[in-house]
Amino acid sequence: MATLISKVIIYLNDNGVDYTTERPKWSIDEFCITDDGSGSFIENWNASKIGLAKPTDEQLNALDAKATTHQNNAKVKAARRAAYGKIGDQLDLLYKDMAADKGDKTGEWFKAVKKVKDDNPKS
């Protein structure tokens, strides 16, 4: 089952309100999700700042499968980011491939990137 924040993110994005988990621009002024020990709930929802009505439990529950995919893909992205290594090293490998006329699927950079993607598939 997806987390409440994942469901809220999908609800916002599906309704044209841009929300990104990598660089959230949101603050507690827009919405606040709290967990009092008995489960997470939306404590604050400022519709005038968000431009969208607070979602009902039914609306959020209907987004569970999509939100679970979103969560799983976020984990895959993090694993890929770690496995790719430093961008400078990637560019160096790509440069060496280009200098050896291997700027295609035969190059070492392509093979390395393909391995990371194959080892960490998205849903």
Q: What is the DSSP string of 30-86?
A: TEEEEE-SS-EEEEEE-HHHHTSPPPPHHHHHHTHHHHHHHHHHHHHHHHHHHHH--
Mean pLDDT, residues 87-103 taken together = 96
Which token pair is 93?
């490998």
For residue range 52-82, what is the model confidence (pLDDT) as tens digits? Answer: 999 999 999 999 999 999 999 999 999 999 9
Which token pair is 36?
């009092």
- Sorted by where each starts, the structural domains of the chain and their CATH numbers stand as 1-72 (3.30.56), 85-123 (no CATH)
Say what percent of the chain tops pLDDT 90.
79
0.85 cut: is pTM over it? no
Identify the CA nearest to 1 among candidates 85, 89, 97, 71: 71
